Amino acid sequence: MELRQLRYFVTVVEEANFTRAAARLHLAQPGLSAQIRQLERELGQQLLDRGSRSVTLTEVGAAVLPHARTALAAAERVTATVDEFTGLLRGHVRVGCVSGTASEDFDIATVLADFHDDHPQVGISLTEDTSENMLAAVRGGELDIALIGLTGAEIGDDIGVDVVLDTPVVAAVAADGGSGRITLAELRDHPLICLPRGTGIRGVLDRACAAAGFEPDVAFEAAAPPLLLLLAARGLGIAVVPALTPTEAEAFGVRVRPIIEPELHGQLALAWRRDRPDSPAAKVLLGQLRIGLSGS
C-alpha cells in the first residue's frame, strides 16, 4: 500500500466520480482506476461501489476512509516539520483572485513577485474567477488561498477569513443622471449594470434587494468594473460598483450617488481552509498577502 493510492482513494470519494478525480489529480482515468483496483486487491476488500453515474463507498470503504485521511495528514505534517526545521520552503501554492481586483492600488502581483524572489523553490499558480467559484475551490482543496468578495452569507467554520478591504457600494450614473443620495428602493425603478452572479458585490446587492422584497432589474453584466462605468456613462443604466474617487468618476464620465437605506458595503477577504494543515509555503504566503494587501 502506498500513500499515493490512499490519496487517489480519498480524491475519488470526494469527487464521487473517477473522471473528475482523475482531472483533479492530473492523471489518466484508466491509470487512476488501476491504482484503486490494486489497493483493493492488496486489502482484499472492495472499497468503492462503481455506479454508472457516481461512485459510493462500500461498508469497508467507509470504515477505511477516516484512516486514509489521517495517514495523509500525518505524512503532510512530517514534511512540514522537516521544512520548518530546515527553514526551507518548497512545493507549490495555488492562489485564486477574484476578477478585477488586481490593480496598482491593490497590488497582488507585487506580493507574489516578492514571495517568489525570496522563495524561488516554491511554485505559484494564480487563477481568476468569481468569488463563489473561488470559495468552492478553497473548500474542495483545489486552491490554498483565495482573494474573494464577501456577500454577507455565512461561510462556515471550516474557512478562515481575513478582510483586507471594506468599501462602500455606490451607484454610478451618467453625468446628467441626477445627484445626491439614492435609496435602495429607488434602484428598483431603474435598469442596473452589475457584476455577474457569484461575485461579492453582486451578492451584496441581491441579498439587500431580496430583504427589501424585490428583484433588481439587471440589464447589463460585466466582470470588469471599468466596463460597467462606461455603460453607465452612456446612459444605459445605473452601475452598482465599489466607491470611486472624484478623479476616477470624472475620468469615466459618471456621477457617483451614495446608496442609502440601507448603505451597502463590499468586502474583499483572504480565505483559506482552517480544518486541514497548510504547507509551510502556503502559511508564509498567506502572511505576506495579509500584510501586503491590508496595507494597500
- Domain 165-267's class? alpha beta
Among all chains, which residue has been given the C-alpha cell 490512499? 6
Among all chains, which residue has been given the C-alpha cell 462556515? 156
**pLDDT recorded at residue 76:** 74
SS3 state at 245: coil
CATH fold match for the domains 92-162+268-294 and 165-267: yes
SS3 state at 267: strand
pLDDT tens figures, 78-125? 766 666 555 556 778 999 988 766 554 567 888 889 988 888 888 899
pLDDT tens figures, 13-72? 998 888 888 888 888 888 899 999 999 999 998 999 887 678 889 999 999 999 988 888
CA distance 94 to 243: 30
| CB distance 239 to 195 below 8 Å | no
DSSP character for 274? S
CA distance 269 to 252: 27
Q: H helices within 53-168, ranges in order? A: 59-86, 108-118, 131-139
Handedness of CA 210, 213, 216, 217 (dihedral sign): positive
Share of the chain above pLDDT 70, in %: 91
Q: What is the mean pLDDT of residues 137-152?
A: 90
**pLDDT recorded at residue 106:** 65
Grid coordinates given for 52: 454508472
Can you give the residue ranges of every domain in the chain?
A: 3-86, 92-162+268-294, 165-267
**pLDDT recorded at residue 119:** 85
Calculate the average pLDDT of the chain.
Answer: 87
Output the CA angle 24-128-251, nearest 5 degrees: 175
Give kind and range of the element (H or E) at residue 28. none
Residues 6+ positions from 177 with CB-CB distance below 8 Å? 232, 235, 238, 255, 257
Higher-pLDDT residue of 279 and 246 is: 246
Give kind and range of the element (H or E) at residue 281. helix 280-294
CATH of domain 92-162+268-294: 3.40.190.10
Residues 6+ positions from 139 with CB-CB distance below 8 Å? 156, 158, 159, 273
pLDDT tens figures, 180-214? 999 999 999 899 999 999 899 999 999 999 999 99
Share of the chain above pLDDT 90, in %: 45
Chosen CATH of 3-86 out of 1.10.10.10, 1.10.3720.10, 3.90.950.20, 3.40.50.150: 1.10.10.10
